[in-house]
Chains A and B, each alone.
Chain A
Amino acid sequence: MTKLETSLLDILREDCRTPLEKMAVMTGASMDEVASAIDEMENRKIILRYSPVINWDRTDRERVEAMIEVRVTPQRDMGFDAIARRIYRFDEVKSVYLMSGSYDLLVLVEARTLKELAAFVSGKLSPLETVTGTATSFVLKRYKEEGVIFENDDTDRRLVISP
C-alpha cells in the first residue's frame, strides 16, 4: 500500500463523497494520480463499496435487526468458509464474521418485522446441516456505528475563540 492509498482510504472512510479534486488537494497528488489509486484499490478489492451510514430510526421504514451467534460443526467437505458462504447467500444476512471464543459465526440479520426475522432463523438458518445452535439477540438501539455517533452528542467542547 502506498502512502497515497492509505491517505485516500482515511479520507474516503470519513466521507466517501469527497470530490476527486478535494482529495487531490488534500493529498498533494494530482487528480489523475488520485483517480488511478482509487481505481487500483477497487480492482484489488480493497475498496468494495461506498455506502452511507444511515440512522433508520429517523425514517419511517419498519426494520428489525438481530445479531445471531451461530455454532457450527465444520465437516470434511464443508469447512468454515463454505458454511459462511451458505449463510451469507441469504439476502436477509447483512454481515457474517468468523469469531474466536464461545461461538463460531456472528451473523447480522435484517428483516422488516420480528415475525419475519424469527421465520428466517427457524426456517432457514437453524435447519442448515452444519448449524448446531443459534443464540439471537435483537438490536434495541444504535449509539455509534462506523465511527459515527447517532445522537447529537458530537458537541465541540472547546472555547469558540481561543488564542
Chain B
Amino acid sequence: MNYDRYLNQRIVSVPPSGIRRFFDLASSRKDAISLGVGEPDFRTPYPIRDAAINSLIDGETQYTANRGLLELREEISLYLSERYNVSYNPAEEILVTIGASEAIDLALRALVNDGDEVLVPDPSYVSYAPGVVFAGGVAVPVQTKQEDDFRLKADTLEKAITSRTKLLILPYPNNPTGAIMEKTDLEAIADVVRKHDLFVISDEIYAELVYGGHSHVSFASVSDMYSRTLTINGFSKSFAMTGWRIGYACGAAEIISVMNKIHQYAIMCAPRQGQVAAAAALRLGRENGYESVLSMRESYDRRRRLMVRAFRDMGLDCFEPYGAFYVFPSVRRTGLSSEEFCSHLLQEKNVAAVPGNAFGPSGENHIRCCYATAVDKINIALERMAAFVAEHS
C-alpha cells in the first residue's frame, strides 16, 4: 500500500538525519570507543534520583499542572535570577517541557507563520532546521567560521536578513562546535536584532558548561533584549538528567501562553518524577553551591584540555572551545571529507566520531568529538586517532 498521499509532505521532505546513518554504522561495531555521544557520562547525582524514588514510593503518579509543578517553576525562577541575572515570573512566564527539545519545538510552532524565515547559525544542533520546516517556516543558515571561533558575527547575520525574516535561533554554548558568545559578541547581535525587529529563541542548555574563566551570558540579560527573547534551558547537560526529559522555556506571558496551548493539548504535562527530581536538583544546588554541577564541569574541563592539545599535537587545526562538551577540529589536512574521515576512522581504528556536516554545510571538513567520556577511553581514542591521521596525511 502506498502511504504517500496520506503523509504530511512537509515532514517527508526533510532529509534523514546524517547522525542516524552514523549511529547505525557505529552500533554494528563491537567495542568501538565512541566520541560520538551527545550526553554526559555521569549519572544523575544520587540525592536527585532519591527525590524521584521517594516521590514514587509516596504514590505521586498523577498529572501535574500543564505548565509544570509550581515548586519547580519557582526554583527555575530563582536559579535563573541567581545564576544568569534574568528574572521570570513562575506563574506566567515559565513553562516546564519534555526536555529543551520540546521547548524548541513549541517555540517554533508558536512563533512561525507559513513562510516566515528563521535564521539558524551553521553548524548547530540538528533539530533547529527541521523544527522550522515542521512549523511551516523557512530555515536560513547563517555561516559561522573557525577563524571566528565559530561565533555568530553581526555582519554575516545581517546579510542573511530579508523582509520575511522573523526569528533568530541563538544556540550558545554551541553543539557541535563548543563555541561560546561573550557579552560583546551578544551586544553586536542585539544591535542587529533590534534594528530588524527580530525575536530570538536562545537555547542555553549548555549554560553551566563554560570553561577557561569565561561565564555564560544569558541573551535576555543583554541590553534591552529581555522582551525580544525566549530563554530555553533544561537539566540534561548540567545535572546529567538526559533520560528524565525535563526542560523549560521562559519569556513573555503572551508567548508562554500560546506555547502552553500546544503543550496542554499535545503533552498535558512533563513527567512528574522528572519534575520532582529537577526541583530537588535546584533546591540542593542552591543549598550546596551547585557542587555536583561544578564537579562535573571540572572533570569535563580536564578532558577538554587533553583533547584540544592532542588534536593540535596530531597536526589538526583545532580552535579552543570554551563551552559544552565538544571539540570540533578540522580534518582538512588529511584530504578526507568529514564523512570519509569518520567512516574510515571507525573501520580502521574502531573509534566513532560524528562528521561535522551532519550539523550543517559549514561543518564540512570538521568532526565533532565529545569529551563526556572517561579519561582512559579518551586517551586510547586519541592515540588511535593520532595513528590514523599520521597514516592519512
Contacts and interface: CB of A to CB of B under 8 A. Distances in A.
A156 interface: yes
A161 B305 CA distance: 22
Contacts of A28: 305
B146 to A, nearest CB: 21
A130 interface: no
B19 A160 contact: no
Interface stretch (A7-15, A65-73, A75-83, A119-127): A7-15
A87 B254 CA distance: 74
Contacts of B19: 161-163
Interface stretch (A19-27, A40-48, A88-96, A99-107): A19-27
Given A161-B19, A163-B125, A15 B376 contact: yes
B347 interface: no
Contacts of B373: 156
B104 interface: no
Nearest to A154: B374
Interface in B157-176: 175
Contacts of B376: 14-15
A12 to B, nearest CB: 12
Contact of B38 (A11, A14, A156, A163): A163
B306 A161 contact: no
A14 B375 CA distance: 9
A5 B41 CA distance: 24
A1 interface: no
A14 B39 CA distance: 21
Given A15-B375, A160-B23, A25 B39 contact: no
B302 interface: yes
Max chain B CB contacts within 10 Å: which of A18, A27, A158?
Answer: A158
A61 to B, nearest CB: 25
Contacts of B352: 160-161
Interface string B347-366: 00000101000100000000
A161 B17 contact: no
Given A7-B298, A25-B305, A26-B302, A160 B36 contact: yes
B343 interface: no
A26 B305 contact: yes
Given A7-B302, A15-B376, A156-B41, A163 B126 contact: yes
Contact of A25 (B38, B126, B306): B306
A159 interface: yes
B113 interface: no
A160 B32 contact: yes
Contacts of A18: 375
A162 B305 contact: no
A22 B306 CA distance: 7
Given A15-B375, A15-B376, A159 B306 contact: no
Contacts of B22: 161
Contacts of A15: 375-376
B37 A159 contact: yes
Contacts of A158: 34, 37, 39, 41
B118 to A, nearest CB: 19
B303 interface: yes
Interface of A: 7, 10-11, 14-15, 18, 22, 25-28, 156, 158-163
15 contacts: A10-B298, A15-B375, A15-B376, A18-B375, A25-B305, A26-B306, A156-B41, A158-B34, A158-B37, A161-B19, A161-B23, A161-B34, A162-B23, A162-B37, A163-B38
